């Protein structure tokens, strides 16, 4: 699949109240809380029928929302499960939730063990330290499971105590023909755990107490003996500690990004001692003029993206600490670079002391060119290239059409844009395609045609889980070529393709047509024609899309709506708007359902 060699299953994200069954200390540094109860099975909550908990991956995670120990209640309204299948997170609740790895799950007893690395001052850690059997806690997830990597010869696994539950779980799943080299760092020898594994192992335990409290995780991973064949690197722990391994894996070891998974599970923060005055929060009146000025400034997003694209944060992280050194590293004009650095200091992305520059905590986030934040803010990467369509917002609002020079059709003239766009859509499909068989009834379906960029991921998943299906990709030749790359080589021979426009009805109708993220890429008149062509090609049609709630208070949703307007002259349609288009195309009454990750499946009968 695109972007990963781990097969992914997607599950609906549900809020459920689980019972604490047992609490035990695995070591002096790790406490295990086992949860279970009736809510682990299918049940009704908030008037919504929830599915049973499912989890099979070694690093699956859940979000826990423990109550305030002083009041015994949550400091906000309890999150609810909505009819659409999404969790309604009240303001402040999502940030309050704490993410933990599932240590184990017993399918028969429906009991889940969650291990907590014990430390003082953490919300969830404090909860685990005091919780007793018989209490309850709100839990969301797991939202997906990822299997062991396919097509690799060995694994290099490393992490600190926060990663230990996932590492131990991973080792228990390894088969005897997948050897692993493992590096685990904990505070002291008493925190060491017994590990079970059938595979050949080379395990190194590190103890910070034997090194003055300092970490030796990175240097030990770098020095690990290299096994022959294709490795899969899995590392988790403190974000800044493990960060150097990203560059090492990419540049020194030249491991393909689909074989690398480095996750920051937590971030070390220095907490200043608060004085008595700091316990009282002063009310600050916000000046509307100042607020409007901050909201309307154009420079901050452009300055950040310029610095990211030039590699300025990466240069400082690598040791360049003067304007001249940064300019030399980035290939920029020294005087102009000094001006940009001066402004980045005022934005609290860079600090300066005696003429020497360093990164602030926010700047450190942008120093990793492969991290999501940097990828999203790079002028040459797909996120920013799409968002530059906002430069045509005035014209699009005036006309309702894509902005000339900024619309999607204009951007497609650049081949690198098309490739980047495909990679982005395909990556998103990895997290939606596995949910399709659970969202759509495939009984009686023998032939399926799949349309859209990213359709290859859906085709690959259907061929894997429903091998009796006859799956065909439909699209223009270049798109079919891109989509076929996302099909596993072992299944590629089973996937047919038809080189044709999605606006042309198939001469031989299929049982089911699946259109992935293409209806909202066309204005109403074109979308109506497309829906008619899909309806004429299949007995049933499924559209995978994002809908807009007209009452939404989420500015990310309204932003995405306006971006689609600028790119395609469409926007994200509401359920009523899409229903009207389907009806006008002569197709049957639509049924709306959730496919997860905020997306919707819309199913209706065709005209054949």
Cα dihedral 249, 253, 254, 260 sign: negative
Backbone angles phi, psi at 278, to 5 degrees: -75, -10
DSSP state of 525: H
Contacts for 520-525 with beta carbons within 8 Å, 24 or more apart? 520/545, 520/546, 520/564, 520/568, 520/570, 520/571, 520/572, 520/573, 521/408, 521/564, 521/567, 521/568, 521/570, 522/568, 522/570, 523/400, 523/401, 523/568, 523/569, 523/570, 524/570, 524/581
Question: Distance (Å, rounded) from C-alpha 313 to C-alpha 263?
Answer: 20
> Pairing mode, if any, of strands 495-499 and 136-140?
unpaired
| pLDDT band, very low/low/confident/very high, at 203 (cuts 50, 70, 90) | very high
Q: What is the mean pLDDT of residues 392-417?
A: 92
The pLDDT of residue 602 is above 50: yes
| pLDDT band, very low/low/confident/very high, at 510 (cuts 50, 70, 90) | very high
Question: Distance (Å, rounded) from C-alpha 466 to C-alpha 155?
Answer: 29
Length of the chain, please? 608
Q: What percent of the chain has pLDDT over 70?
A: 95
> What is the per-residue pLDDT across 307-347, written as a single tens digit (0 to 9) for each?
999 999 999 998 999 999 999 999 999 999 999 999 999 99
What are the CA-CA distances from residue 8 to residues 51, 144, 366, 607 (Å)?
Answer: 18, 7, 28, 34
User: Which residue, among 505, 352, 482, 471, has the nearest Cα to 423 in the 3D structure?
Assistant: 482
Question: Distance (Å, rounded) from C-alpha 217 to C-alpha 190?
Answer: 18
The pLDDT of residue 198 is above 80: yes
The pLDDT of residue 490 is above 70: yes
Question: Distance (Å, rounded) from C-alpha 606 to C-alpha 596?
Answer: 24
The pLDDT of residue 489 is above 90: no
The pLDDT of residue 3 is above 70: no
| pLDDT band, very low/low/confident/very high, at 257 (cuts 50, 70, 90) | confident
Q: What is the mean pLDDT of residues 174-202?
A: 96
The pLDDT of residue 172 is above 90: yes
- The pLDDT score that the predictor gives to residue 273 is 39
Question: Distance (Å, rounded) from C-alpha 415 to C-alpha 348?
Answer: 37
What are the CA-CA distances from residue 320 to residues 95, 252, 328, 330 (Å)?
Answer: 35, 20, 9, 10
| pLDDT band, very low/low/confident/very high, at 598 (cuts 50, 70, 90) | confident
User: Which residue, among 486, 543, 484, 555, has the nearest Cα to 513 in the 3D structure?
Assistant: 543
The pLDDT of residue 557 is above 70: yes
- The pLDDT score that the predictor gives to residue 285 is 53
Helix (H) or strand (E) holding 231: strand 231-238
DSSP state of 253: S
| pLDDT band, very low/low/confident/very high, at 556 (cuts 50, 70, 90) | confident
The secondary structure of the chain in percent helix, strand, coil, rounded to multiples of 5, reads 35, 25, 40
The pLDDT of residue 123 is above 60: yes
Give a three-class secondary structure readout of 279-297: HCCCCCCCCHHHHHHHHHC
- The pLDDT score that the predictor gives to residue 84 is 62
Give the pair of three-digit tokens for residue 463: 């061929």
Domains of the chain: residue spans and CATH: 8-146 (2.40.30.10), 154-266 (3.40.50.80), 297-380 (1.10.10.10), 415-605 (3.40.50.150)
Q: Where are the alpha helices (DSSP H) in 163-248?
A: 164-173, 217-222, 239-242, 244-247
Total-model pTM: 0.76
- Give the residue carrying structure tokens 């088969």: 175
User: Which residue, among 122, 111, 112, 128, has the nearest Cα to 23 in the 3D structure?
Assistant: 128
Q: What percent of the chain has pLDDT over 90?
A: 72
- Lowest average pLDDT, out of 145-154, 421-430, 513-522, goes to 421-430
Q: What is the mean pLDDT of residues 431-451?
A: 92
| pLDDT band, very low/low/confident/very high, at 540 (cuts 50, 70, 90) | very high
- Lowest average pLDDT, out of 236-245, 366-375, 386-395, 536-545, goes to 366-375
Find all residues with CB under 8 Å of 591, minimum gap 6, and list them. 602, 603, 604
> What is the per-residue pLDDT across 52-103, written as a single tens digit (0 to 9) for each?
999 999 999 999 998 887 787 888 888 888 776 678 888 778 778 899 999 9
DSSP state of 225: P
- The pLDDT score that the predictor gives to residue 551 is 87
CB 176 within 8 A of CB 198: yes
């Amino acid at each position: 699949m695109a972007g990963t060699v781990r097969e992914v299953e997607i599950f609906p994200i549900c809020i459920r109240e689980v019972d604490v069954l047992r609490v035990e200390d695995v070591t002096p540094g790790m406490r295990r809380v086992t949860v279970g109860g009736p809510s682990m099975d299918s049940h009704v909550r908030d008037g919504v029928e929830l599915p049973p908990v499912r989890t099979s991956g070694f690093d699956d995670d859940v979000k826990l929302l423990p109550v305030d120990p002083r009041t015994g209640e949550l400091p906000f309204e309890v999150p609810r499960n909505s009819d659409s299948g999404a969790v309604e997170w009240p303001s402040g609740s999502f940030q309050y939730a704490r993410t933990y790895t599932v240590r184990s799950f017993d399918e028969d007893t429906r009991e889940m063990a969650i291990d907590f690395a014990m430390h003082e001052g953490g919300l969830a850690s404090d909860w685990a330290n005091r919780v007793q059997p018989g209490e309850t806690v709100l839990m969301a997830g797991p939202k997906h499971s990822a299997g062991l990597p396919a097509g690799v010869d060995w694994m290099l696994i490393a992490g600190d105590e926060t990663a230990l539950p996932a590492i131990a779980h991973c080792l228990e799943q390894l088969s005897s023909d997948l050897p692993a080299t493992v590096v685990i760092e904990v505070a002291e020898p008493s925190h060491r755990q017994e590990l079970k594994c059938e595979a050949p192992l080379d395990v190194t335990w590190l103890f910070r107490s034997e090194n003055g409290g300092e970490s030796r995780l990175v240097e030990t991973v770098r020095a690990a003996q290299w096994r022959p064949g294709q490795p899969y690197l899995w590392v988790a722990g403190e974000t800044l500690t493990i960060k150097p391994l990203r560059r090492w894996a990419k540049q020194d070891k030249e491991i393909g990004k689909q074989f690398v998974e480095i996750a920051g599970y937590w971030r070390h923060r220095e907490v200043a001692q608060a004085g008595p005055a700091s316990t009282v929060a002063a009310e600050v009146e916000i000046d509307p003029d100042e607020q409007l000025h901050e909201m309307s400034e154009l420079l901050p997003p452009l300055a950040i993206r310029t610095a990211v694209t030039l590699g300025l944060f990466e240069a400082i992280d690598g040791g360049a600490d003067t304007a001249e050194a940064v300019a030399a590293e980035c290939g920029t004009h020294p005087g102009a670079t000094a001006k940009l650095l001066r402004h980045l200091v005022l934005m609290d992305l860079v600090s300066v002391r005696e003429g020497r520059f360093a990164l602030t905590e926010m700047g450190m986030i942008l120093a990793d060119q492969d991290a999501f934040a940097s990828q999203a803010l790079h002028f040459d990467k797909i996120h920013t290239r799409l968002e530059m369509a906002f430069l045509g917002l005035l014209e699009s609002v005036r006309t309702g059409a894509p902005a000339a020079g900024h619309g999607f059709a204009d951007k497609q003239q650049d081949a690198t844009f098309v490739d980047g766009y495909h990679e982005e859509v395909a990556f998103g499909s990895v997290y939606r395609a596995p949910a399709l068989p659970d969202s759509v009834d495939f009984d009686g379906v023998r032939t399926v045609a799949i349309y859209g960029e990213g359709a290859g991921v859906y085709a690959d998943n259907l061929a894997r889980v429903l091998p009796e299906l006859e799956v065909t990709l439909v699209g223009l030749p270049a798109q079919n070529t891109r989509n076929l790359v996302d099909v596993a080589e072992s299944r590629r021979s089973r996937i047919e393709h038809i080189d044709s426009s999605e606006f042309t009805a198939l001469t031989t109708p299929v049982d089911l047509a699946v259109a992935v993220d293409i209806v909202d890429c066309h204005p109403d008149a074109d979308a109506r024609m497309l829906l008619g062509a899909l309806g004429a090609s299949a007995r049933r049609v499924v559209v995978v899309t994002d809908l807009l709630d007209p009452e939404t208070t989420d500015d990310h949703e309204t932003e995405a709506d306006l971006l689609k307007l600028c790119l395609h002259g469409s926007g994200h349609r509401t359920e009523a708007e899409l229903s009207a288009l389907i009806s006008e195309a002569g197709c049957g009454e639509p049924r709306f359902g959730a496919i997860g990750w905020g997306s919707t499946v819309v199913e209706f009968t065709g005209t054949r």
